Structure formats: C-alpha cells, structure tokens
Amino acid sequence: MSVMIQQSRKIPTRTVDTICAYCGTGCGIKAEVSEDLLEVQGHEQHPTNFGRLCSKGSNLNETMDSDARLLYPEVDGARVSWDSALESTATRIRKIIDEHGPDAFAIYCSGQLLTEDYYVANKLMKGFIGSANIDTNSRLCMSSTVAGHKRAFGSDTVPGCYEDLDHAELVILTGSNTAWCHPILFQRIKAAKEAHPGRKTVVIDPRRTATCDIADLHLPLKPGSDAYLFNGLLAYLAEHGAVNTSFVDSYCNGFDQALAEAKASCGSVALVAEHCGLTVDTVDTFYRWFLETEKTVTTFSQGINQSSSGSDKVNALINCHLATGRIGKPGMSPLSFTGQPNAMGGREVGGLANQLAGHMELDNEQHRDLVGRFWQTDNLAPEAGLKAVELFQAVDEGKVKAVWIIATNPVDSLPDADSVRDALESCELVIQSDCMDETDTTPFAHIRFPALGWGEKDGTLTNSERRISRQRAVYPRSGEAHADWWILSRVAQHLGFKDAFNYQHVGEVFDEHARLSAFENSEQAVLRDFNLSGLTGLSREQYEQLQPIQWPVLEATTGTERLFGDGVFFTPDRKANFIAVTPRLPENSASTDYPLVLNTGRIRDQWHTMTRTGLSPRLSAHLPEPFVEIHPQEADRYLLKEGSIAQLKSKWGSMLARVKITDSIGLGQLFVPMHWTAQFASQGRMGPLVNPVVDPISGQPESKHTPVAITPYQGKWYGFLLNRQRIDKSALETIEYRVRATGQEHHRYELADSSQEADWDKLQSLLGEAGELLEYRDSTQQIYRAARVADGRLQSVLIIAPTTKLPERDWLASLFAKEQLEEVERRQLLSGKPPAGAADTGPVVCACFGVGRNTILNAIEEQGLDTPEAVGCALKAGTNCGSCIPEIRQLLTD
Amino acid sequence: MAQTNTETNKTNSLPLKLVVIGNGMASIRTLEELLQAAPDAYKITVIGREPFGSYNRIMLSPMLAGETTQEEIMIHDRPWYEEQGIELLAGDEYEALHIDRSNHQVQLRNGDKINYDRILIATGADPIRLPVPGADAEGVLCFRGIRDVEAMLERSRDGQHAVVIGAGLLGLEAANGLVKRGMNVTVIHRARYPLNRQLDKEAAQLLQRELESRGIEFRLGVNTHSILTKPDDDGNQEVISLKLDSGEILPADMVVMATGIRPNIELAHNSGIECNHGILVNDCLQSFDPAIYAVGECVEHRAVTFGLVEPLFEQARVCANHLASHGVASYTYLKPATRLKVSGISLYSMGDYDLSPDKDGDDIELLTLKDFSAGIYKKLVIKENKLVGAVLYGDTVDGPWYHELMRDERDISRFRDGLIFGQEPEDAA
C-alpha cells in the first residue's frame, strides 16, 4: 500500500519501526517513507503480529490527508500564536479555578493518547490542579475490566498474554467480535486451531458475528445474561468435582460465598439455559468442554464490559478461572482484549478518575503519600473525581465550568450523547486538543490546540498483553501541531507549575513515569504490580531504541509474559478474591413503547468516530452507511425492507439507519455501528439513543443494551450523489437524511427526505456549473438522474427516485478513477448500469436495424462474411433501405 | 369479364398479362416479390417515365452530396429486365395516358395500346410547387428524381447561392448536399424549427445546431413572398433571389422547393378509378377495379397516404401475394419511423412523439435523456405502460427496438427504468 503525501512532507527515504494507530492489539508496523510516498506493512519481528496487518492498519497511508488536519492554535475561532493560546488557556482555567475551585475544571482524554501524554495530563490534574476530574474514553471501553481485575487480583493486571492463544486448547471468545475488532488476534487463534485439529473455539455473543466462522460452538445468549452463564459454570464445575481445591485453598479467598451465590442463582444447566435463552445442550456442551480442557483461555471485550453489571460479569468469568487454577500459566488465563491502542497505558498512568498514578489508588494513604513525595506536591486530589458520564452531567449542571477534551469525541461516543452536546453548548470554557480540524466536538470549543497525529507522534503505548512498544514519528509535524505532552506541560507551566513540567523531551516523561512505578515498589515498602524499574534511567538513545517489552520490567530487557501462575496476587494478603456475583439483567428492559433491544459495536473497516478511517476510500467501501441489523421476522413485523431507511428511537434520542435484514441477530434485538458522526451522517449518531446507565462500580455505560422502537422512515424521495469534490456542508443542510463516504477520487452522499418532494433543479445545482450536463427525467415515476462530465472526465452523478430502489453505486463510483469516459459508458451513465457484456456496438451503420460498426466488423471476422448480402443475412444490416450497403462494402474491403 | 379471363388462362396455363405502370421502388419491390412467389404467373410489361432501369430513390440525397454515384444507386439495369423476361418501356414516349378498362388496354403517349389482365399502378407522387410569383422560373427546382439531382448539380457548378424552401426531410437533405457541393445554402421554413413534423423542439434545435455548424443557414417562421427573376440570354426568366414576406431578400442562383408531395393519381383518376387524395385501395392493395392494383406513394389506404419507403415495401409484399393468387396477406399500416439521410446525423422519430402530459392529459408520460454536449437527446412517450412514440437524436441504436415495442404494444413497465438506455432485462421478454 502506498499513497501520495502532501508536498510539504517531502523527506528523505527512511524506514521507521512503529505501532499501529488503532486497536489494543498493538501491531508492529514498518513504515517506509520515500520522498512523498508512505508505505506501511506489518513488522515481521514484532511479537504481536509477526508481519500481519488488518485492513485498517494496512490503509493507514490513506488517512494522512493534511487537508483534514487542525494545523494552528485557535482562540475563539481565530488563529493565534502558541504563546497567546497557552496564555489564554492558563488565564481562563486559572480564573475558573480561583472562582469555583479546582473541581470546576476537568480533563476528558482518551485511549488514543500515548503513555507520556497521558502521564502529564494525569499529573497536572491530580497532582497540581488538585482535582481528580480527569477521566477518559477508556471508561466506555474497559473500566469494568479494571474493576474486575482489581477486585479479584488486588491490581489491574492482565495475567496472560497472546502466546496463550497459541497454546490454548479451548478459546472462549465472549462479548468479542474478534474477527472484526481484533483481526490479527483472530487470525492467530485461527492459525493455531488449523495447526492443531481438535482444538475448540466457543463464541458467546447474542449475534452470530463474523467471529463465528471459527466457532465450534456459538452461544447466542440473551443480551446481558452473561453472568448467569458464568455463575452456572462455576456451579457446574463444583458439582462435577472440577474445582482445583488446592489452588483455591492456598491462593484464594471467598470461594464458598461465590459458589453459594452461583448455586443460588444458576444451580442447574436447565436454569442457566432458561436465563440465557439457550438450549440445555448448548450450555451443557460449553460447560463440559470447559471442564475437560485444562488449557483454556477466555477472552472478553466490550460485550462483557459495557454493561450495568460489567464488573460482576468480569468477576463471574474470572471466578471460573480461579476455581480451576487456570490463570497465568501457558495456554490458560482470562484475557481482556482492549479496544483502544493505549487503553492499557492510560490505566498504568492512572488516567481514570478513580485512580491516582502508576496503578496506585486515590483512597490509599500510602499511595497518596508516595506519589505526593515523588511529584513534590502537596496539592494531591483529595478524592476520586467524576467518571465520564457523571462528568458531562456535571458540565450540564454547571458544576464543571471548564473542560479540556483531548483526542476524543464525547458528543458522539457517550450515552445520551445529545445531552452531552447540550452540556458543552452551555459550558463556559471548552478546550479541545485534536489532530483533526472537524469533529462533532469542534463547534463547542473556545480554544483549540493542534495535536500531532499518528505518523508524527513519538512515545510509548501498551497493548492488551502489557507489552510496551515505541510509536515513532514517521515524518515531521503538520503545521504548528505539537505533542499532547508538550501542550499539557506548557499549559501547566503557564499555570505556574514551572519545575514539575519542565520536560524537554518525551523520553524525560517516560523516565519519570518509569521511576514513579519503581519508586518504593517492594514487598517491604508499597508493592505494586506495575513496575518499570528495569526501564528507568534510559538514555535518549536507549529510549529511542526501546524494543517491545511486557511489564513488569524489573531488569532491563527482561519482560514478564505472565503473572499469578505462582498463585501470588497483589491483594493485602496476596491471595486472589472470588467475588460472589448476583446476576443482574440490564437496567432498562424492553417495553411496549420500546420493544426492541439495541446493541452497538464496531465494524471491520472503521475506527471509533471515523476521523481517520473515514478518510480512506478503501476502508469506506465495505460498509459506507450507518445501518441497523434486524431479524427477518422483526423486519416483517415493523414493515422494514432490506435497503430501506429506518428510524430508531429510544427514550433519550433517535437516529436513522439503513436496514440490513439478517438472521445473524436474534429476535427482539437490533444492532447499529458506533462509528458515524455528524461529520458523515446527518442522523447516524448512535450515541443519542444509548441509555445513560452505568455500572455502579466501574461507571462504564451500558452501551450494548438500550430499549428502542423502530419504524420505517417515510422518505418522499431517496437518492445518492457522487461528486469528485467534497460538497460544502451548507449546501446539503436542508436535506434530512445525508451520509457522506469517501470513495476513490470522489465523495459519496446518500440522501433522502421525508418532509418535501425532491426539487430536481435545486438538487442538480449541487453538481456545480463546471462541465457538461447530462440529464434523465421520468416525471411520472419521479426519477431524476443527472451527471456532469468535464473534458471527458466524470465529475458528478446524481440519482433521485421515490423509493430506495436505486442503481448500484459501484459501477458509477468506479468511473471516477478513469481519465476519460468511454463513449458507451457516457451513454449508459445515467442508467447506473454498466453496458451489458461491454457490448460496444460502435457508431450506427445500419440505422434501420440499428446495427453498429463494431457489430458488423465482428460478424465479418467471426463468420467469415464476404458480401453485403451475407452481412444482411447475418445481421439484417442493409436489407431495408440499403443506404448503408456502401459503408458495409467499405467495411468488407477494409 | 376479368374473372372469365383468369379462369380461361388458368385452364390454358397461359400466363396472364401484367402491366406495371411506374418503375420506382414500390413497383420494383412488388415485382421482385412476385417473381419469387410466382415466377411464371405473368407476362410482365413495365412502363417507366424516366429513361433508366430502376434506382434507389432514397439514395438521391447521398448522390447529391457526392457520397455515391448513379451507378451505385441503380437497383436494376436494363439487362435485369431482359433476364426476367420483363418488357421495359422507359422514357417519356411511353407515358401511360389512359386505361381503357372496358377493353383492358393501356394507351401510351406514342399511340401504342397494350392489353392487360392485371395492372399495377405505382405512379408515385409529384412534388408540390408553391404557387408564388416566379415559381416557374429557370432555376426553381424540386428534389424528386435523378434529373432533379442532375439539374441541381449543374447549377451548383456555377452558382453560389441556393435557397431551399422547406425544412422537412427532403429539404434538409438537399441543403446538406448542396452545402457539400460548395454552395451557400439558406433553408427557409414556415415553422419555428426544422423537421417540425418529425421532431420535437429539443431534437430539432440539436439538429439545427449541427446543420448550422456545417454551414447551412436557417430562416425559420417565415413564408416565401416571391421568387425574383431576370430574363436570361434566351429570354427565359431566371431566378436571382427569393423574397420573404418579411421583406428580406435572399440571393439565389437556385431555389429548391421541398414543400411536400402529392400522390400522382392523374392517370387513375382520368381512367375512372376511385380516388380521394390517392388511389383508394383495400387491404389487398386492390383498387375499386379488381383487375387493378396500386402500391406506393400514389395510393390512399384507410385515409393514409405515404411518403416513406418502409410502408411501400410492406405494400409490395402484400400486393405481390395477391397478384400471385396466394391471397393470404393483408396490409396494415404502421406509421414508420423517420430518419434523415444526412451522413453523420443520427435521428429517429416515431409514433406520437409529440404528445405531452400538459396538452394531452395525465396518462401521457415522458422519459427524457439529455446529453446536449455530446449531441444526444432522447424522448420516449409512454401511455398506459406502452411505448407510443419516440424522438431520438444522436444515438439511434435502439430505434428499431423501440419500433418493435410500439408495434407489438409491449408492456414496458418491467424494464421502464432501463428503457431509454436500451436495456431490456433478459427475463422481460
């Protein structure tokens, strides 16, 4: 894969080892830059991916569009110097803190940040502003896992590693569409399975996702019923004598209570089957396989985490691994797959509102003392801060008056997202750091900082298996963009915290982070799982050359693959905790008004809110529009047709989505992708629908379960527009339904409106004035199609019809890559269909029978015709008025 | 009496005597069909006014434009008639003046009388000459036969300016030919746009634009006031210019009148055969005299007269069938499609192309495709899910298919969407 980079980025040829921008897998990338070309491929030596890359990573080069970048600092909509922006920011923050206290200020950041960025943000807030009002979008992602780990292990430690997937004989994927969301790990599981026949894979997911391709058993359980399943498993294991009593007795607490609760709620397979909406056989098979297979890895993801009882689900699952002693040993462990590239790094620095720093806790006096001394501050945040959902509620209530949003898009991703929008609208000071110029959060920002993007950033991040890797800059910064750690520390200095934030190089931040992790970290002092003592005091050169390594790192170059295999945990008594779980169903259940349950999630080729992947034509081709998956019977019930548009409504908001009918989803359920924003779709944001319900322990929202209603969208017209240039947003604003997607050398707009008839002339004006106009009209059927062609090159195509039965977009879209339209393509253009069999008949020779030059030439050639009469017999050409016979004769002579 | 004759001759196995009056495309096609169907049924005499074998009149336009020659457009030369055992009487002296139906004889200008058992009249049509002052001057021509082409070519050699009256098919073809022969040509026309009987305004404007780019000038929405003349050396009045009723005077070394044709029924009428605008024929192409058949531009069938070649060929087929005593064919008229024989211009119109919902009611539906820059315009007229008319300009490949759809009254609703693009799904047939 290679792509042109903007001129200004011309730099000498070089190869850079770095890390992918996307999910928590953390794949190594070899990026080759030569002049203005960037080539990206999987790094063969990286222990995560061994050279492989998924579709998103492979197309990183298509997302480097400088036009979309935020390049200069802005204050109140005007470009300003960095000094001026930093000073304004500090002044305004200071004023709010002085008037309303430190808790009136908050930072909402992101798992997209590198560890060093994250570290500085957290230090600034919790150490010097003196408030813990810093939370992150990791709250939406895996905070339930953090809570579950801490309750069970006394620390937020991932016990296993990816290599366990190579050894495991049973891999359970629960609440994880691994095939689409962690494709490289999926490939790894698949490869191991293929190499070792007899290994089994179980997929637990209400939907029959692409991941089920490798499933020997799929449990399409009732949404939210996971805790019943794992409680039932614990009871089953006990009942069948499969509990590793020596491990439990020696290394664990709380087994009896947990088992009692499990038995009470899920004492029999039949009961579990009923709770989960599964057959007894299915449940029984799953339990039996678990029981029989020592080497079992259970991977889990948002399907477990995004729940009002997410923490309990995590613990119900971990309980089963503790009960069997299958933890931290090769091929056996619970293994959380994180969503974001640096969700783990964020956890390590303490980026969540209820953490302190370096896996230490705000409410632990020893920890507070240690960190306070290390940071040399006496202004540590006194207590836990506001978690994401609460934080924006506090903004709405005016308790938080200034919020700094870094590398995330809460207007789209948080539950009840329209309320978040309203909250920001009324917020006194919104600061935004982003690499992209236009996001849904942008309109509310008073101050905007241009941040470095992937390819420019430099630092470290940690993947799902605790592996710290260096992400390195591939080319120089765009415009005046700066690293987030730089922006944060400069603001800190302007706020008066000069010495504590006097970093000159990113390596200095890493070193401080490593030293904090090692600071008084021992059995005798304050023991913590997170320890980078082996990575302290690195020289610039050593930091630059740092190779991927799994923490804890007690000695340089020696990482740690697994923890807890020895039964020693990080609780005060060093024993693991069973957690007694009382299964709870999702907080809001389906009702008469909202009879269906909405599930949300990722799709294969998009990432988060599409600020990057939405720029790539290749990635936008697979699923170019927000859609809703619905079971055929439900589609019948709600009068929805494949390819039509549906309106989804919940108590909190609504959205429009294209209907995809599939029996891969169960009755009573719907699924929508999480990615679309107002930048791409007028009403395709799923955030506004999602119920603002959170797990009481982790604060993670229940994004996978919201009661909704669905109705057909009654468009007066439907259509699409393909245009070589991006169309000015304001020109489309009056159209109710609109979705933009990036295509090869064009932009695609799906359009519809239910409020007014299509105004053909007005719609035609969207095509601009340049080039030659082609038009097709069928007034009775209300079909209008138009196109513009300039210098033989397709510029735009518009298709309008009263129904969703529109031509396929593919062929039309493919024409934009052509330098010149062929004549036959131009003639068929407005049919939307390619010429049949590429039968280009050529210019008409016989007008009476419509026989073209090429047809005649072909017939002469193929049938060996030698007289005009023979041509007449074969094709009828020339047999009526005969005026073309001379031309036919000429063709015969030629 | 005719009946008696037939029976007599049949029993004697003697061929009947068929006299064909007219040596044009309609009569020759009828003969060809007849010779194939019943080669020995008749002894045939063909009477032609022009002193040639038969030629393809349609090709006169290309001939005028210099795209083909007289030899190329001949259908049959004299030896062909001999080979077929046909007696050919070609030339003015053989003009048929009268049919003596009582005695079954045709009287010729040279005084000869020929007997007949059957007659086929195919006397064609004559161009209409406008009754304006100067219309009979030297240099005022029509565009009908080889002689007209010769006269035009003769005048184009020395003359500079030609005025063509009438922007119908023939007028435009003449104008195109004369431009190609190096003349400055102006076409004057009563209507607001050319080919107003065959095209709608959009197509006509595209056509006009194309013809203008080839050097033809237009004066539209005008009438001829008079043709101005001066005496030549021989004292004949010679055309010098044409005056429009607007007062504008157009210089003219030649005026071509292309203002329509009138069926040539003089012979039939004078011979007491029932005529209206044309010779009245039934579905067997038989006139009111059962021994006399008629085909081509001279006939009137169910109130329709003819000017294009396609219906003539169909008439020829039916008529030959009856002349051959097969008696199974019946002529039905299908309004033919229009084409213009001007090279490089594709144009096709058919049926009720000019209907519109605005003036003809809501059951009229229009499909249009415009790519004016590429010189393409298409309009299809739909009524009750059937194609009832079309205008195609610039891309006429699908014309014949549309004609079939219209003729067969196919329901097009299943493939309406691709119709204008020539797309018929395989399963729609």
Residue-wise pLDDT tens digits, A727-764: 998 899 999 999 999 998 999 999 999 999 999 999 99
Q: Looking at the domain assignment, is residue B134 inside a domain?
A: no
| CA–CA gap between residue A784 and residue A762 (Å, rounded) | 12
Mean pLDDT of A274-297: 98
* Structural domain range at position A46: 2-64
Quote the minimal CA–CA distance from A851 to chain B in Å.
7
Helix (H, G, I), strand (E, B) or coil at A571: coil
The answer to whether B171 and B161 are in contact (CB under 8 A) is no
Is residue A730 domain-shared with residue A685, that is, in the same domain?
no
Q: What is the pLDDT of residue B234?
A: 84
SS percent in chain B: helix, strand, coil, step 5? 30, 30, 40
The band of B9, judged by pLDDT with boundaries at 50, 70 and 90, is very low
CA dihedral A840, A841, A843, A848 (to 10 degrees): -150
Q: Choose one of A307, A336, A365: the last residue of a domain.
A: A336
* Longest CA–CA separation in chain B, Å: 73
Task: Report how far apart, in Å, the C-alpha atoms of A580 and of each of A108, A146, A265, A312, A320 are.
Answer: 33, 17, 11, 8, 12
Q: Which own/partner pairs from A9-18 qualify as long-range (CB within 8 Å, at least 24 positions apart)?
A: A9/A36, A9/A66, A9/A475, A9/A476, A9/A478, A10/A35, A10/A36, A11/A35, A11/A475, A11/A476, A16/A472, A16/A473, A16/A474, A17/A43, A17/A46, A17/A470, A17/A472, A18/A470, A18/A471, A18/A472, A18/A474
CB pair distance less than 8 Å for A841 and B72: no
| CA–CA gap between residue A752 and residue A394 (Å, rounded) | 37
Is residue B252 domain-shared with residue B303, that is, in the same domain?
no
The answer to whether A679 and A644 are in contact (CB under 8 A) is no
| CA–CA gap between residue B58 and residue B65 (Å, rounded) | 13
| CA–CA gap between residue A789 and residue B30 (Å, rounded) | 50
Instruction: Indicate the range of A13-22, A839-848, B71-80, B172-181 predicted with least confidence.
Output: A839-848
Is residue B61 domain-shared with residue B148, that is, in the same domain?
no
Output the DSSP codes for B110-170: TS-EEE-SEEEE---EEEPPP--TTTTSBTEEE-SSHHHHHHHHHHHHH--EEEEE--SHH
- For tokens 């020109």, name the residue: A731
CB pair distance less than 8 Å for B373 and A777: no
Is residue A259 domain-shared with residue A151, that is, in the same domain?
yes
Residue among A648, A769, A653, A788 at smallest CA distance from A723: A788
Q: For residue range A628-648, what is the model confidence (pLDDT) as tens digits?
A: 999 999 999 999 999 999 999
Q: Looking at the domain assignment, is residue A565 inside a domain?
A: no
| CA–CA gap between residue A800 and residue A187 (Å, rounded) | 42
The band of B4, judged by pLDDT with boundaries at 50, 70 and 90, is very low
Q: Residue A777: which of B67, B368, B395 has the nearest Cβ? A: B368
Q: Residue A833: which of B72, B357, B418 has the nearest Cβ? A: B418
Residues 6+ apart with CB under 8 A from A18: A28, A29, A31, A470, A471, A472, A474
Using alpha carbons only, what angle is made at residue B298 by residues B16 and B15, rounded to the nearest 5 degrees?
A: 5
CA dihedral B103, B109, B114, B116 (to 10 degrees): -70
Q: What is the pLDDT of residue A3?
A: 42
| CA–CA gap between residue A79 and residue A76 (Å, rounded) | 9
Q: Taking CB atoms and an 8 Å cutoff, what residues of chain B touch A826? A: 371, 374
| CA–CA gap between residue A350 and residue A371 (Å, rounded) | 11
Half-sphere exposure of B157 (CA within 13 A, CB side): 5
| CA–CA gap between residue A236 and residue B257 (Å, rounded) | 105
Q: Looking at the domain assignment, is residue B333 inside a domain?
A: no
- Residue A202, token pair as written in the block: 């179980």
**Is the CA virtual torsion A200, A201, A202, A206 positive or negative?**
negative
Using alpha carbons only, what angle is made at residue B314 by residues B310 and B317, rounded to the nearest 5 degrees?
A: 140
- Residue A604, token pair as written in the block: 């294969």
- Flag whether pLDDT at B186 surpasses 50: yes
- Whether ipTM > 0.85 holds is no
Provide the H-helix boundaries in A210-279: 226-239, 245-251, 255-266, 269-276
Q: Looking at the domain assignment, is residue A405 inside a domain?
A: yes
Residue among A727, A741, A584 at smallest CA distance from A658: A741
DSSP state of A863: H
- Flag whether pLDDT at A391 surpasses 50: yes
* Structural domain range at position B420: 346-428
Strand order in the sheet with B347-351: A737-743, A746-753, A717-723, A793-801, A783-790, A772-778, B364-371, B376-383, B386-393, B347-351, B338-339
Is residue A517 domain-shared with residue A624, that is, in the same domain?
no
Helix (H, G, I), strand (E, B) or coil at A141: coil
Q: Looking at the domain assignment, is residue A321 inside a domain?
A: yes
- Flag whether pLDDT at B276 surpasses 50: yes
Identify the bridge partners of residue B427 per DSSP, sorted by sequence position: none
Is residue B177 domain-shared with residue B274, that is, in the same domain?
no
| CA–CA gap between residue A811 and residue A829 (Å, rounded) | 9
Is residue B158 domain-shared with residue B215, that is, in the same domain?
yes
Quote the minimal CA–CA distance from A622 to chain B in Å.
27
The CATH number of whichever domain residue B417 belongs to comes to 3.30.390.30
- Flag whether pLDDT at A651 surpasses 90: yes
pTM of the model: 0.84
Q: What is the pLDDT of residue B428?
A: 47
CB pair distance less than 8 Å for A779 and B357: yes
- Residue A362, token pair as written in the block: 């705000």
Q: For residue range A209-218, what is the model confidence (pLDDT) as tens digits?
A: 989 989 999 9
Is residue B303 domain-shared with residue B401, that is, in the same domain?
no
- Residue A307, token pair as written in the block: 């729940």
Is residue B211 domain-shared with residue B147, that is, in the same domain?
yes
Q: What is the pLDDT of residue B426?
A: 59
Q: Choose one of B257, B279, B305: the last residue of a domain.
A: B257
The band of A7, judged by pLDDT with boundaries at 50, 70 and 90, is very low
CB pair distance less than 8 Å for A827 and B395: yes
On whether any CB of chain B is under 8 Å from the CB of A811, the answer is no
Is residue A364 domain-shared with residue A506, that is, in the same domain?
yes
Q: What is the pLDDT of residue A14?
A: 86
Q: Residue length, chain B? A: 429
With CA atoms as reference, the chain B residue closest to A785 would be B369
Residue among B356, B415, B420 at smallest CA distance from B394: B420
Is residue A495 domain-shared with residue A543, that is, in the same domain?
yes
Size of interface A-B (CB pairs under 8 A): 98
- Flag whether pLDDT at B375 surpasses 80: yes
Is residue B268 domain-shared with residue B315, that is, in the same domain?
yes
Output the DSSP codes for A821-858: --HHHHHHGGGTSPPGGG----SEEETTTTEEHHHHHH
The answer to whether A856 and A891 are in contact (CB under 8 A) is yes
CB pair distance less than 8 Å for A831 and B418: yes
Q: For residue range A322-348, what is the model confidence (pLDDT) as tens digits?
A: 999 999 999 999 999 998 999 999 999
Distance of CA A310 to the CA centre of its chain: 19
Q: For residue range A536-592, what is the model confidence (pLDDT) as tens digits?
A: 999 999 999 999 999 999 988 899 999 999 999 999 999 999 999 999 999 999 999
Is residue B242 domain-shared with residue B355, that is, in the same domain?
no
Q: Looking at the domain assignment, is residue A567 inside a domain?
A: no
Residues 6+ apart with CB under 8 A from A542: none
Q: Choose one of A36, A64, A92: the last residue of a domain.
A: A64
CB pair distance less than 8 Å for A774 and B371: yes
Is residue A307 domain-shared with residue A355, that is, in the same domain?
no
Domain count, chain B: 3
The CATH number of whichever domain residue A630 belongs to comes to 2.40.40.20
Is residue A545 domain-shared with residue A445, that is, in the same domain?
yes
| CA–CA gap between residue B227 and residue A627 (Å, rounded) | 75
Quote the minimal CA–CA distance from B9 to chain A in Å.
36
Q: Residue A775: which of B366, B370, B418 has the nearest Cβ? A: B370
The answer to whether A424 and A106 are in contact (CB under 8 A) is no
Q: For residue range B102-136, what is the model confidence (pLDDT) as tens digits?
A: 999 999 999 999 999 999 999 999 999 999 999 99
Is residue A489 domain-shared with residue A454, that is, in the same domain?
yes
Mean pLDDT, chain B, integer: 90
Q: Choose one of B257, B272, B292: the last residue of a domain.
A: B257
Instruction: Indicate the range of A318-327, A439-448, A836-845, B114-123 predicted with least confidence.
Output: A836-845
Q: What is the pLDDT of residue A882?
A: 65
Pairing of strands B364-371, A772-778: antiparallel
Query: Which residue spans within A145-241 are E strands per DSSP?
Result: 170-174, 200-204, 217-219
Distance of CA A313 to the CA centre of its chain: 22
| CA–CA gap between residue B56 and residue B34 (Å, rounded) | 19
Instruction: Indicate the range of A121-125, A432-436, B122-126, B232-236 predicted with least confidence.
Output: B232-236
Is residue A147 domain-shared with residue A56, that is, in the same domain?
no
Half-sphere exposure of A671 (CA within 13 A, CB side): 22
Task: Report how far apart, in Å, the C-alpha atoms of B244 and of each of A216, B159, B174, B254, B364 are.
Answer: 92, 20, 20, 15, 38
Q: Residue B374: which of A826, A848, A880 has the nearest Cβ? A: A826
Domain count, chain A: 6
Is residue A422 domain-shared with residue A519, that is, in the same domain?
yes
Is residue B391 domain-shared with residue B285, that is, in the same domain?
no
The band of B10, judged by pLDDT with boundaries at 50, 70 and 90, is very low
Q: Choose one of A712, A729, A749: the last residue of a domain.
A: A712
Q: Looking at the domain assignment, is residue B337 inside a domain?
A: no
Residues 6+ apart with CB under 8 A from A191: none
Indicate the burial class of A411 (C-beta count within 10 angstroms; 0-12, 13-18, 19 or more).
Answer: buried
Indicate the burial class of B158 (C-beta count within 10 angstroms; 0-12, 13-18, 19 or more).
Answer: exposed
Is residue A250 domain-shared with residue A148, that is, in the same domain?
yes
Q: Looking at the domain assignment, is residue A206 inside a domain?
A: yes
% pLDDT > 90, chain A: 81
- Residue B383, token pair as written in the block: 């009524």
Q: What is the pLDDT of residue A12?
A: 66
Strand order in the sheet with A549-550: A459-462, A467-471, A549-550
Backbone angles phi, psi at A201, to 5 degrees: -130, 130
Is residue B23 domain-shared with residue B61, that is, in the same domain?
yes
Q: What is the pLDDT of residue A557?
A: 82
Output the DSSP codes for B216-235: -EEEES--EEEEEEEE-TTS
The answer to whether A48 and A162 are in contact (CB under 8 A) is yes
Is residue A776 domain-shared with residue A856, that is, in the same domain?
no
Q: Looking at the domain assignment, is residue A577 inside a domain?
A: no
Quote the minimal CA–CA distance from B421 to chain A in Å.
6
Residues 6+ apart with CB under 8 A from A491: A86, A89, A90, A93, A124
Is residue B65 domain-shared with residue B180, that is, in the same domain?
no
Mean pLDDT, chain A, integer: 93
CB pair distance less than 8 Å for A830 and B339: no
Q: Looking at the domain assignment, is residue A767 inside a domain?
A: yes
The CATH number of whichever domain residue B175 belongs to comes to 3.50.50.60
Amino acid (one-letter) located at A657 = A
Q: Choose one of B240, B257, B274: the last residue of a domain.
A: B257
Q: Looking at the domain assignment, is residue A138 inside a domain?
A: no
For an interface test with A, which of B312, B373, B382, B424 has the most A Cβ atoms less than 10 Å from its Cβ? B373
Identify the bridge partners of residue B220 per DSSP, sorted by sequence position: B189
